[in-house]
Amino acid sequence: MLSKKREKMKEEIIALGHGSGAGLTRKLINDIFDKNFKLPSLEDAVEIENRMVVTTDSHVIKPIFFPGGDIGKLSVTGTVNDVAMKGAIPKYLLITYIIEEGFKINDLKTITESVQKAAEEANVKIIAGDTKVVEKGKADGIYITTTGIGFLPEGVNLSSKNIKIGDRIIINGTLGDHTVAIINARENLGLTPAPQSDCASLNELVQLMLKHGNVNFLRDATRGGVATILNEVTEDTGFGIIIDEKEFPIKEEVEAVCGLLGLDALYMANEGKLVSFISGETSKLINVMKKHKHGKESAIIGEVTNEVKGVYLRTSIGGLRPLLMLESDPLPRIC
């Protein structure tokens, strides 16, 4: 009996999929972290007191330089967006570098300059940080962790608990851009011109949306993509969701890579896209979003419904196909 228990313990190890943002990540959070920490919220950012919102995010992307950004820019935009998705206005960032011995000083300078530029563009300040160096071969160049602090405007309270039957689901642009940019750079696919990551801070766009629309809930569609967010929402609310295949925008190069590698853009990570749940009239909101530089291809892709349980895709020929929660993502270290 004891040997069987030991065998079971040996089997329970961390896999790359535990960091994918999909089903294994959710299981890890529920079974270990939340069980021990009794977290007040499992959303990407949490309101603590005096309408202060806090989040933290680690970045281990490979390669560290990619078309449209680098690990420095990503470490700012990713954390800014987590704060912004609560409806809060990001104000401050704390940053930690873990650097491998032998890393080029010029690369560190370039990354740090990207951090500062992205912070200025997002109107946030770097106020503290830490640096650690590990032996050569004990890391993969550089990892960055950022902690974001923001403040909720009065009257803003975004939560999946606010989602209602009939809410429209709006995204702010094309899906899969970041993932395809990373795949092309990592695997040397040779796509020309090179696909660009959509890496961007969305805090300004979010505040416009709050001003012009009845926004109930927001999430940025990073690891696991849009489909994972929608599955999490159906689990949290008990409602169903139907999205329309012909409504969501996808670039030709993303479709090509999906066809080549057997991937689905709905599950791909993005770094400048959000998923919003909106009640009431949406035409004015869509028009406002399309005038913003990060919302030019905004689209209504679906609706919350009680006609189904779970998430379904209405295909181009009119059928319904289930979009299930994946256990893991086949593309690790995408952010």
CA 234 to chain centre: 18
The CATH superfamily label for domain 160-322 reads PurM-like C-terminal domain (3.90.650.10)
Spatial CB neighbours of 175, under 8 Å, sequence gap ≥ 6: 221, 225, 226, 248, 249, 250, 254, 265, 266, 268, 270, 273
pLDDT tens-digit readout, 241-290? 999 999 999 999 999 999 999 999 999 999 999 999 999 999 999 999 99
In this predicted model, what pLDDT tens digit does every residue of 128-164 receive, in sequence order?
A: 999 999 999 999 999 999 999 999 999 999 999 999 9
User: Does residue 268 contact residue 176 with C-beta atoms inside 8 Å?
Assistant: yes
Of 8 and 273, the one with more pLDDT = 273
Nearest to 300 by CA among 169, 210, 175, 212: 169
Beta carbons of 201 and 76 less than 8 angstroms apart: yes
User: Looking at this protein, which amino acid is placed at residue 214?
Assistant: N
In CATH, what is the architecture of 43-151? 2-Layer Sandwich (3.30)
User: Residue 193, preceding bond cis, omega within 30 degrees?
Assistant: yes
pLDDT at 9: 43
For the chain, the structural domain boundaries read 43-151, 160-322
Say whether pLDDT at 8 is over 60: no
**Each residue's pLDDT tens digit, 164-196:** 999 999 999 999 999 999 999 999 898 999 999
Residue 312 has pLDDT above 90, yes or no: yes
Per-residue pLDDT at 36: 87
User: What token pair was written down for 104?
Assistant: 């080029």
Greater confidence (35 vs 255) lies with 255
Reading the block at residue 225, the tokens are 């993509």
Which of these, 166, 158, 156, 142, lies nearest to 60 by C-alpha position?
142
Determine the distance from the C-alpha atom of residue 127 to the mean position of all C-alpha atoms in its chain, rounded to a whole number.
Answer: 24
User: Is the pLDDT higher at 331 or at 296?
Assistant: 296
CB 192 within 8 A of CB 294: no
Residue 240: per-residue pLDDT = 98
- Does pTM top 0.95 for this prediction? no
Q: What's residue 3's pLDDT?
A: 55
Average pLDDT, the chain: 93
Q: Pick the range with the lowest mean pLDDT from 17-31, 99-113, 296-310.
A: 17-31
Pair of tokens at residue 125:
């300040």
Interval 96-119 mean pLDDT: 99
As a whole number of angstroms, the distance between CA 309 and CA 315 comes to: 17
pLDDT tens, residue by residue, 194-209: 999 999 999 999 999 9
Note the pLDDT of residue 276: 99
Sequence-distant (6+) residues with CB within 8 A of 33 are 39
pLDDT over 70 (residue 5)? no
- What sign does the CA torsion over 171, 177, 179, 182 have? negative
